[in-house]
Structure 1
Amino acid sequence: MADATIGTPEQLRDPNYTPALYQAVPLGIQHVLAMFVSNVTPAIIVAGAAGFGFGSDSPDFPELLYLIQMSMLFAGLATLLQTITIGPVGAALPIVQGTSFAFLPIMIPLVAGQGVDALAALFTGVIVGGLFHAFLGAFIGKIRFALPPLVTGLVVTMIGLALVRVGIQYAAGGVPAIGTPEYGSLGNWIVALIVIVVTLALKFFARGMLSVSAVLIGLIAGYVYALVFTDMLSLAAISSSWSSAAAFALPQPFKYGFEFSVAVIVGFCLMAFVSAVETVGDVSGITKGGAGREATDREIEGATYADGFGTAIAGVFGGFPNTSFSQNVGLIAMTGVMSRHVVTFGALFLIVCGLVPKVGGLIRTIPIEVLGGGVIVMFGMVVAAGISMLSDVTWNRRNMVIFAVALSIGLGLQLEPGAVQYLPDWLRVLMVSGLLPAASIAIVLNLVLPEELSDEATEEVSGGLSGNGQGSLRRDGG
């Protein structure tokens, strides 16, 4: 519940209302705390997959700092597009933008072991995918019929399933440590488990800011434990990372060059389609939770435009795809404060952090095992969010067949990429992501299978399982 001194009920439901500065600034920082870890994590994961060295003496160290810096800077700028708006771009709602997890299953295999050389094609894909995303804003309302909860829930679930392996690898010691004696050691797992336990304890037994910032505080607890009780981290390493990072730096356009790749372009455009639909859901969640009304067409279109153009601009400077963050939708419902200007203060804070590489230098010192504990929770929540979306599906025979075929092929290709080794490289990358074939199959089957099947009684399937109607869970993942 919101504090009654913040404003009247009518004011709290008004996106244009601005609380007093001493109230608006902490509320804005609260939004940043809720999404900060999730926002910078994709940059660290992509850098790790590309083979970047994480030490301050590594030649890749400046590149890692730059990727973290751009994640913060362009999350802030994209959020400003949503709150302040430029013409038709932006929803004029308290929408918090951040780096999307949805694109990770595509980005990881694209950069795997290739270092900085892979980033030119990747960021070209971000730019083109962002422009395609913005293009969808012109008619997003007309294509929602093709993406019911059966399709979007399947895709979000598979995004989480594709990423949980990364969380386990990080908790066990990180990808570079695979095959070494220390990989999977008890010491590594203790650090990760401390993060998980503290996060869960705060999430379920604390209230207010402590609950909202549970993942961040869990990471801090793991960080302190690693510093005091292990040799993973030292004050000297922290000091070195801090001193070697600049106090101020501006983004560089086309820092990594420009390289056209069919596989990358197609992959980013298709995932942009899914991201656009997720944004529609977030906008609806904000207006329902904060103002008790449905989102207007103008708000949905503006949010999609901001999503796309924010991503395209980020790609020009070496930033990753942006999307609306669902955890902040829940925060609005919890605080009851609908003011877009509150989120604007949070966006300005992110921009300041993005212009100060020393912030990225400190983030870089987080041991991979600590980060592993955090992403296990975050990626598990992505799976849970997908399952929650699927709870809105009526599980009749038609929908069960669509889900079964799409999941079997998509997840199967993730688990056994060698099954398509003879495909052209560009097509193989798309297929082994699992997401794109699963989404394509689900969309096509949903459009072509006759609806008459939906009216028939659900057949009993092997093991006595049968559909039992609609669920009532609400999506609350990021």
Structure 2
Amino acid sequence: MADTSIGTPEQLRDPDYTPPLIKAVPLGIQHVLAMFVSNVTPAIIVCGAAGFGFGSNSPDFPQMIYMIQMSMFFAGIATLFQSIGVGPVGARLPIVQGTSFAFIPIMIPLVAGKGVDAIAVLMGGILVGGLFHAVLGLFIGKIRFALPPLVTGLVVTMIGLALVKVGIQYAAGGVPAIGTPEYGSGLNWLMAGTVILVTLGLKFFARGMLSVSAVLIGLLVGYGLAFVLGQVNLGNVGRASSFALPNPLHFGLEFSVAAIVGFCAMSFVSAVETVGDVSGITKGGAGREATDKEIQGATFADGIGTAISGLFGALPNTSFSQNVGLIAMTGVMSRHVVTIGAVFLILCGLVPKIGAIISSIPIEVLGGGVIVMFGMVVAAGISMLSDVTWNRRNMVIFAIALSLGLGLQLEPGALQYLPGTIKVLATSGILPAAVIAIVLNLVLPEDLSDESTEEVSGGMAGHGKGSLGQSGQA
């Protein structure tokens, strides 16, 4: 429920209203707390996949700190694009931007085990993908028809399914520990399990910001336990500098067909996700539909923010859905509140010691958090799929796209004779699933009958929109 001490109901629904600073600053920091863990986690995952050492003596460790730092800094910059706007760029709404999970399944195979030099390929893909994303803003309204809930729900579900393995590996001790006696030890699962239990407890039994920040608080409790158990190494915090500016082309730029195709394809999906978030903000905070200008501006900001991130060594940005829910919860629609949060993120991004503290989180503790986060991604996809009318046509589209997408990801050796670039894209899981679903959805006629549903689904007949069927239904 909205706090009327902040302003009148009319003011709270106005994006241009500025609450008193004594109220606006905590509200802005609240937005940062809600997205903080999700924003920095992709950088840690990508660095881990590339083979950056997690130990304090690793020569690559400062590179991880830098990427974490840039994740905060450019999330703040991209948020300013949305809240303040620059010309046609930005929705001028309280949209919080952050590093996107959606691109992780594309990035991991591009850098897997290749070290810091492989990051240049990501940056080239991010730059081109971001520019492509911005161009989508010119006609975003005309392409939404190609991504109904059947397609978007499938893609989001595939993103989560592609990541849950990473969460389990982290909780068990991390990829470098696979095959060692320490991997999967009781100590590792104690740290990860503590994070999961605290997070679930807060999600179920707490209210307000305690519930919204459940993952962050769970990680803090897990971190405290790890510290007591002697599993935290703070050596890098003392060595990290107190202030540092972003470094242009820090990782360099390298243009790869696989990276460019992958990032452009996922930008298409990310653009539609942003449209949904913009609509959610205007409905939840102002009780109205988003205008074409707001949707176009938000898409421009998404793309430009991502392209600039790639020039400085950060990962792709997108709008954060958890902050959409936070606006609905607080009832405060002010874009200036989000601007305050963005400034806070930028300041954090200028202090490498903050990145060093984040990087000192034991991988097992982080694993407990990402198990919850990636599971929620899967749940969000399934929630989207609940809006689908499950007739024979849609069940076949979903079945084929999921089977081929997930199957090729689980068994990449099945495509061992494909050229390298095509193999990386085809075994990403998400891209083949998305392409198959989009093409079949556009090609197959809507008026296919349901008479053969049971043959397709093994006797489990599909039911109507978002339902499990009533008693007596076939």
TM over 0.5: yes
CA contact (8 A) 1:14 1:339 kept: yes
Q: Distance in 2 between matches of 1:2 and 1:329?
A: 15
Corresponding residue for residue 113 of structure 1: 113
Corresponding residue for residue 49 of structure 1: 49
Corresponding residue for residue 34 of structure 1: 34
Q: Distance in 2 between matches of 1:388 and 1:180?
A: 38
The residue type equivalent to 1:14 in the other structure is D
Corresponding residue for residue 18 of structure 2: 18
3-state SS, counterpart of residue 98 of structure 1: strand
Where does 1:52-63 land on structure 2 (aligned, <5 Å)?
A: 52-63=52-63
The residue type equivalent to 1:111 in the other structure is V
Corresponding residue for residue 246 of structure 2: 251
3-state SS, counterpart of residue 442 of structure 1: helix
Q: Within the alignment, does 1:294 sit opposite 2:293 as a pair?
A: no
Gaps of 5+ in 2: 469-474
Deviations 1:56-78 (A, max 9, x none): 22111210110000000000000
Corresponding residue for residue 214 of structure 2: 214
CA contact (8 A) 1:91 1:298 kept: yes
The residue type equivalent to 2:170 in the other structure is Y
> Among residues 300, 304, 312, which one is paired with 1:317 in the alignment?
312
> Among residues 350, 359, 364, which one is paired with 1:355 in the alignment?
350
The residue type equivalent to 1:16 in the other structure is D
The alpha-carbon deviation at position 456 of structure 1 amounts to 4.4
3-state SS, counterpart of residue 248 of structure 2: coil
Q: Distance in 1 between matches of 2:41 and 2:217?
A: 15
Deviations 1:82-105 (A, max 9, x none): 000001100011000000000000
Q: Distance in 1 between matches of 2:451 and 2:93?
A: 43
> Among residues 368, 373, 376, which one is paired with 2:368 in the alignment?
373
The residue type equivalent to 1:460 in the other structure is E
The residue type equivalent to 1:182 in the other structure is E
3-state SS, counterpart of residue 337 of structure 1: coil
Deviations 1:374-427 (A, max 9, x none): 000000000000000000100011111111111110011011000111111011
CA contact (8 A) 1:138 1:301 kept: yes
Gaps of 5+ in 1: 474-478
CA contact (8 A) 1:81 1:90 kept: yes
Q: Distance in 2 between matches of 1:262 and 1:447?
A: 26
Corresponding residue for residue 392 of structure 1: 387
Q: Distance in 2 between matches of 1:90 and 1:42?
A: 24
Corresponding residue for residue 67 of structure 1: 67
Q: Distance in 2 between matches of 1:463 and 1:264?
A: 39
TM-score (norm: length of structure 2): 0.97
Corresponding residue for residue 153 of structure 1: 153
Q: Distance in 2 between matches of 1:7 and 1:121?
A: 48
The residue type equivalent to 2:394 in the other structure is N
Corresponding residue for residue 325 of structure 2: 330
CA contact (8 A) 1:56 1:244 kept: no
Corresponding residue for residue 454 of structure 2: 460
CA contact (8 A) 1:121 1:259 kept: yes
TM-score (norm: length of structure 1): 0.96
The alpha-carbon deviation at position 55 of structure 1 amounts to 2.1
Where does 1:429-440 land on structure 2 (aligned, <5 Å)?
A: 429-440=424-435
Q: Distance in 2 between matches of 1:172 and 1:431?
A: 28
Q: Distance in 1 between matches of 2:454 and 2:427?
A: 32
The residue type equivalent to 1:364 in the other structure is S
Q: Within the alignment, does 1:99 sit opposite 2:99 as a pair?
A: yes
The alpha-carbon deviation at position 472 of structure 1 amounts to 8.1
3-state SS, counterpart of residue 98 of structure 2: strand
Change (3 A) 1:472 1:331: farther
Corresponding residue for residue 476 of structure 1: none
Q: Distance in 2 between matches of 1:347 and 1:458?
A: 53
Corresponding residue for residue 139 of structure 1: 139
The alpha-carbon deviation at position 257 of structure 1 amounts to 1.6
Deviations 1:176-206 (A, max 9, x none): 0000001001111011010000011111111
Deviations 1:138-170 (A, max 9, x none): 000000000101001000000000000000000
The alpha-carbon deviation at position 434 of structure 1 amounts to 1.1
The residue type equivalent to 1:138 in the other structure is L
How many pairs are equivalent?
467
Corresponding residue for residue 199 of structure 1: 199
CA contact (8 A) 1:80 1:344 kept: yes
Q: Distance in 1 between matches of 2:97 and 2:466?
A: 29
3-state SS, counterpart of residue 5 of structure 1: coil
CA contact (8 A) 1:458 1:467 kept: no
Q: Distance in 2 between matches of 1:291 and 1:301?
A: 18
Q: Within the alignment, does 1:231 sit opposite 2:230 as a pair?
A: yes
The residue type equivalent to 2:121 in the other structure is A
The residue type equivalent to 1:361 in the other structure is A
Q: Distance in 1 between matches of 2:423 and 2:453?
A: 36
Deviations 1:436-455 (A, max 9, x none): 111111111011101111x6
Deviations 1:312-358 (A, max 9, x none): 00000001000000000111111111110000000000000001000
Q: Distance in 1 between matches of 2:11 and 2:461?
A: 47
3-state SS, counterpart of residue 453 of structure 2: coil
Structure 1 window deviating more from structure 2 (380-389 vs 252-261): it is 252-261
Q: Distance in 2 between matches of 1:472 and 1:214?
A: 30
Corresponding residue for residue 415 of structure 1: 410
The residue type equivalent to 1:445 in the other structure is L
The residue type equivalent to 2:184 in the other structure is G
